[in-house]
Amino acid sequence: MKKSSSLKMANKHIPSHIILGLWSILVLFPIWVMVVNSFKTRFTIYSNPFGLPEKWNFKNYISVFSDSDFMRYFMNSIVVVMISLICVLLLGSLVAYAMSIWRTRASTVLYFFIIAGMMLPIRIASIKLIEIMKSLGLLNTIWSLVPIYIAMGFPISVFIMTTFIRTVPGELTESAFIDGAGRFKIFYAIIVPLLRPAIATVAIYNLVPFWNDLWFPLIMITDEKSKTLLLGVTRLFGQYQTDWSKVLAVLTLSALPVIILYLTMSKNFIRGLTAGAIKG
């Protein structure tokens, strides 16, 4: 009986496993094409775009580091994204903590006003943002991107962290408050350690659009020294021909930070996504 029941349970999961397997192939196939073709020459890409190269060509990667400003663009992207993420996580966690404590009609209105930013694409205000950055003297610098990215990531940060903090048992904070701990001490000693899954979720969720953003660097920055990585990739596109092997080498290198962050924080990321469903 046990064997038959286990076989029935296994058969129930077969369709979901097939769907997940097909989805994984669909997702990994473009990555495979990008990585494999980055080790080919310009012309062998067209003759065999999906197979392994007959001769591995590392000159594309050597050329990226030696003949271009890849490291400058890479560091610009790292600085902008890291500062933006830190600000989003810090501000989002503080506001979420306040929202979880402040339970009034005014706080509810303010909360929905903040998360309404998730529904409005920030690109519709591009012209006004250019005027604001020009008035602040930030135009044509990497610092013009930081406040924009903070505004992009702040609503989802507040939404996820507020939902997560509200699942924390009130007895934890109440007992600490009775023992004489202040609000800030409760925040960094109790709330922040429990917030790690939510922090990982917000960090990964915002890292991808920040890192892959091309629109705002394109309209805000023209100085070569201040260009981000993806904006620098556009230099490899010629008017009449494009060296796709070098383009794919740069894109492969640019994908590494996102992949590494996800692999190191995947457990907390999954816990953060399922916390609300598990705890109610």
pLDDT tens column, 246-276: 888 888 888 888 888 777 766 666 655 555 4
What percent of the chain is predicted at pLDDT more than 90?
A: 14
The residue ranges of every structural domain in the chain are: 67-279
DSSP character string of 4-60:
HHHHHHHHHHHHHHHHHHHHHHHHHHHHHHHHHHTTS-TTHHHH-SSSPPSS---HH
Residue 1, token pair as written in the block: 């009986």
**Mean pLDDT of all residues in 25-35:** 87
Rg (CA), the chain: 23
pLDDT tens-digit map of 115-156: 888 888 888 888 899 999 999 888 889 999 999 999 999 999
- Mean pLDDT, the chain, integer: 81
185 or 90: whose pLDDT is higher? 90
DSSP lists the bridge partners of residue 237 as: 242
- Please determine, looking at this structure, whether the domain spanning 67-279 carries the CATH number 1.10.3720.10: yes
Q: What is the pLDDT of residue 261?
A: 77
129 or 175: whose pLDDT is higher? 129
Q: What is the pLDDT of residue 277?
A: 42
Q: What is the pLDDT of residue 186?
A: 77
Of 163, 250, 240, 248, which is closest to residue 201 (Cα–Cα)? Answer: 163
Please give the single-letter amino acid code of residue 54.
E
Of 262, 201, 257, which is closest to residue 229 (Cα–Cα)? Answer: 257
Q: Is pLDDT at 108 greater than 90 in this prediction?
A: no
Q: What is the pLDDT of residue 247?
A: 83
pLDDT band for position 1 (50/70/90)? very low
Contacts within 8 Å (CB) and 24+ apart, 194-199: 194/168, 195/93, 195/161, 195/164, 195/165, 196/268, 197/164, 197/268, 197/269, 197/271, 197/272, 197/275, 198/160, 198/161, 198/164, 198/165, 198/272, 198/275, 199/89, 199/93, 199/161, 199/268, 199/272
Q: What is the pLDDT of residue 270?
A: 60
Q: What is the pLDDT of residue 279?
A: 44
Q: Is pLDDT at 159 greater than 70 in this prediction?
A: yes
pLDDT tens-digit map of 193-218: 888 888 888 888 898 889 988 899 98
